[in-house]
Amino acid sequence: MPRLTADFDAAYRAAVAPYWPDRTLLDSLDAARAARPDEIAVVGNVHQTGARHVLTRADLADRADRIAAGLLDLGVQPGQVVSAQLPNWWQLIALHLGCLRVGAVTNVLMPIFRERELEFMLCLAESVLFVVPEEFNGFDHAGLAAGLRPRLPALRQVLTVRPDGDDEFSGVLLGRAVTDADRAEFARRAPHPDDVCQLAYTSGTTGEPKGVMHTSNTLLCNARDFAGRLGLTASDVVLMASPMAHQTGFWYGLVTTVSLDMTVVLQDVWRAERATEIIRAEGVTFTMASTPFLVDLTVCAEADPEAFEKFRLFLCAGAPVPRDLVRQATKAMAARICSGWGMSEIGAITLTAPGDPDERVFETDGSVMPGCALRIVALDGTPLGPGEEGRLLARACSMFGTRTCCMCSYVPLTLSGMSTRATRVPTSV
């Protein structure tokens, strides 16, 4: 069975050395279990049943270890892909950490995907394990997965999840204690920060989706600088309603919160009124989502401002943020609205900061993150000035794994026929 790898040449490694943390998410997980075992790591909210699931840092680490032991029993090897089509449930966070423990690669797929998308993505990844909800939003995911399995020769196992447990996932991956032999195998398989740990698919807007391979180094350097730009700390409580199958949810709802010991509160089905209840009950201070989420929460905040007493920051990305909406949301929530831009390939590469003037949020997506650079050029590569449209080029220490030296040559991130105004491009540092 092939093993996913990402190559970075010597020049690239030398350029990004100051930015890469050379650690994995397991370092943060294990440190938090040892130092703060009783602090809350994850709060899950299940729309269908109304259940609330709370995992402490010790709970999360222990479940990740048991899942890892279960993956060993299933014969999952380092570098092989474990795919999951789960909503924002605690099982998805624990599964990723369990995959890390045994050196496997996590591939999260949108719950809205059906037969055509799933067959293509699972086949391309040569996924050996597929984890799906038994049922979600009235759809029979278990039946769909069973129908796909005969057409996917690499797929050895399908496991189903019920959000409240008593399912195949619990029986197979959480069914036994972790032994000394398991821990010895975990140590043998301990992932290197440059090993691929996530496979994310692009949207496939102009063709088939492409597989984006990220390592611990590319994910964690951006998570660190993202939090630094926004002033996020371990005391923040993060609401994540954006799907963890998108990089917004995975990178900033999973990787960032675990790496910085924050509490993440999950919402599996977006309902603005329910989100408002969660923000009040859990003391949420930060969330990141697209413009429609901000519109919804602004309406709720105008009707119930006390629910947002502790809320201080909304990062809006994925679509332009109208200036009137920023003013309205700022007043309603008594919070700061920031904006940003990014891609699956590099994460958030530009952000405004909470202390930036309103004009930065209105007119730009901020300035580039550390270790990143942007340029707008004409079709012949000539740099363009303010007000001109052209191709957007980027390079970044968080760039996905590729055989191209990303820091020594810019990589085009726009597709043929698309253009970006120089006046809308963040200022390079």
Distance CA 30, CA 393 (A): 38
Output the pLDDT for position 415: 27
Let me know: does 75 contact 186? Beta carbons within 8 Å.
no
Query: 57-211 sits in which CATH class?
Result: alpha beta
State which CATH number among 1.10.10, 3.40.50, 2.30.38, 1.20.1070 fits the domain covering 371-429: 2.30.38
Q: What is the reported pLDDT for 408? A: 34
CA dihedral (9, 77, 130, 70) positive or negative: negative
Q: Which stretches of 235-391 are DSSP H helices? A: 247-249, 256-259, 272-282, 291-303, 323-333, 358-363
pLDDT at 409: 39
Q: What is the CA radius of gyration of the chain?
A: 21
β partners of residue 339: 316
- The ranges of the chain annotated as CATH 3.40.50.980 are 57-211
**Nearest CA-CA partner of 347 in 215, 175, 151:** 215
Which mean pLDDT values do the consecutive 10-residue runs of the chain (429 residues) have? 58 84 97 98 96 98 98 98 98 98 98 96 97 97 97 97 94 96 98 96 80 96 97 98 96 98 98 98 97 97 98 91 92 96 93 89 86 92 88 90 42 32 31
Q: Where are the alpha helices (DSSP H) in 74-195?
A: 90-102, 115-125, 141-148, 168-173, 180-189
> Which residues in 366-393 are b (16+ Cβ under 10 Å) and which e?
bbbbbbbebbbbeeeeeebeeeeebbbb
> Between helices 90-102 and 25-35, what is the axis angle to 10°?
110
Q: Looking at residue 365, what is its pLDDT?
A: 85
The CATH 2.30.38 domain(s) of the chain lie at 371-429
Can you tell me the distance from the alpha carbon of 308 to that of 299, in angstroms, rounded to the nearest whole number? 12
